[in-house]
Homo-oligomer: A and B are copies of this chain.
Amino acid sequence: MKRQFDADLDDLRGRLLRMGSLCEEMVHYAVKVVVERDESHVDAVQGWEREVNSMHIEIDEIALRLIALHQPAAGDLRLLAAAIKINSDLERIGDQAVNIAETGVYLCKEPKIKLGDIPRMVEVAAGMLKDSLDAFARGDTELAREVIKRDDEEDRLKSQTFNELVHLMQRDASSIQRGMDIILIARNLERIADHATNIAEDVIFMVIGKDIRHSVEKI
């Protein structure tokens, strides 16, 4: 029974990591639509979203079934609780990627516009997502803390992008609709970084059993 339970937990962890990899791909290709102005990627992103959505439901089901069947305590229960939360953060990252790709499709049809710090924001957010998933896979709290620290950088880049685009819009009224869209994409990327931060916080809780959310002394 115990051996079976361990195998089931490994299977769950594997599913969550596969879902995470899909979300990484989604972010990667969504951004290609915007930066490379190549709308051909939007179908792939939307297709992956359907996959991510069914994984979302499956993983919740499995986690609840394991809790009901095996009545886990301490560390195993914390892993299952973390799985349920990380599952919901990943699903929302997928939604953000779809938003980015769909806004990108509109932008492909319009004249090129300044992207502000979007390319750097993508790097930071995608890096945070990757590292938060690695931290989950390895139970690595050091890496999780690293991820949490990087969220401030993303917020700074977002504010910079906002300011830059607002100035552009003020100088050139024809850029307003597109400028708005870039600002909304910056918001989407900021949200992805927030979800990666949530995942990192859940990893820390899972490993050391301490809830560090909302604490001033995060690090």
Interface residues of A (CB under 8 A from B): 53-54, 56-57, 60-61, 64, 67-68, 71-74, 77-78, 81, 84-85, 88, 162, 166, 169-170, 173, 176-177, 180, 183-184, 187, 211, 213-214
Instruction: Give the copy number.
Output: 2
Give A170 to B170 CA distance when docked, in angstroms. Answer: 9
Contacts of A214 in B (CB 8 A): 53-54, 56-57
Contacts of A78 in B (CB 8 A): 64
- B170 near A176 with CB under 8 A, answer yes
Contacts of A81 in B (CB 8 A): 60, 64, 84
Helix, strand, loop or mixed for chain A's interface?
helix
CB distance from A3 to the nearest CB of B (A): 20
Contacts of A54 in B (CB 8 A): 214
Give A47 to B72 CA distance when docked, in angstroms. Answer: 37
What 6 A-B pairs come out closest when comparing CB atoms? A71-B71, A53-B214, A57-B211, A169-B176, A170-B173, A68-B73
Contacts of A176 in B (CB 8 A): 166, 169-170, 176
- Name which residue of chain B comes closest to A95, CB basis: B194
